[in-house]
């Protein structure tokens, strides 16, 4: 009888620990979810700070360039021919770093295209000359 009583007592203690552990685990899961939400909020805040920083730098860059008389006249002209920028660069004109890099990339591509077409033309002429000499 004592053995059964001790066994029942040990089973009650075991089940009490299981119930307690489930409660602690539930609290831990809630805390972990709260930490994950906080982490996401911090990451969003960091992204917002980065975007704000680049927007601020872009505005300062733009205002510094617009102080130059030539750049301000060119900016006014480019605003008038915005349709050309849309056709060539797929971007509306605005004095920004992004458009500046797009224009540089486009001109670099154009210059390389001209260089490669000259090489192909030279190769074609040499091939034609060789074929003419063989006949």
Extents of the domains making up the chain: 1-65, 68-135
Cβ 102 vs Cβ 95: under 8 Å:
no
pTM of the complete model: 0.43
Most confidently predicted of 13-17, 58-62, 130-134? 58-62
Nearest to 100 by CA among 60, 52, 58, 63: 58
pLDDT of residue 21 exceeding 70: no
Residues 100-126 pLDDT 10s: 787 788 888 888 888 888 888 888 788
Cβ 100 vs Cβ 107: under 8 Å:
no
């Amino acid at each position: 009888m004592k053995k059964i009583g001790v066994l029942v007592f040990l089973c009650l203690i075991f089940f009490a620990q299981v119930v307690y552990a489930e409660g602690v685990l539930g609290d831990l899961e809630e805390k972990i979810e709260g930490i994950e939400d906080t982490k996401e909020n911090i990451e969003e805040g960091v992204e917002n700070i980065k975007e704000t920083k680049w927007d601020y730098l872009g505005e300062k860059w733009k205002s510094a360039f617009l102080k130059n008389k030539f750049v301000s006249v060119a900016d006014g002209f480019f605003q008038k021919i915005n349709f050309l920028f849309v056709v060539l660069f797929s971007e509306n004109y605005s004095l920004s770093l992004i458009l500046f890099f797009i224009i540089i990339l486009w001109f670099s591509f154009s210059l390389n295209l001209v260089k490669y077409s000259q090489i192909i033309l030279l190769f074609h002429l040499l091939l034609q000359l060789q074929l003419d000499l063989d006949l």
